[in-house]
Amino acid sequence: PFEGVRLSRLLDAAGVRATAGAVRFTCFDGAYSESLTLAQARRADVLVALRMQDEDLGHAHGGPVRL
């Protein structure tokens, strides 16, 4: 199982307005991006994962963080 921070908590901490329609994520090198509606992003099961199976996420598993 993955461990991390609920994306909704990060959105709240960042001050994302309730009127926002979507959030977009782009990887560091720009090779991959993903968009979620605000409703999707605020679901309780959407995490910014930091760990998997009690270990920090490595590059082979999408680390250092994974959406």
Residue 19 lies in a domain: yes
Q: Considering its fold, how many domains does the chain have in total?
A: 1
| Dist CA 64 CA 67 (whole Å) | 10
Residue 66 lies in a domain: no
Q: Kindly report the backbone phi and psi dihedral angles of residue 66, in degrees, each rounded to the nearest multiple of 5, phi listed first.
A: -140, 140
Residue 67 lies in a domain: no
pLDDT digits (tens, 9 = 90+) for 2-60: 999 999 999 999 999 989 999 999 988 888 899 999 999 999 999 999 999 999 999 88
Residue 56 lies in a domain: yes
Residue 48 lies in a domain: yes
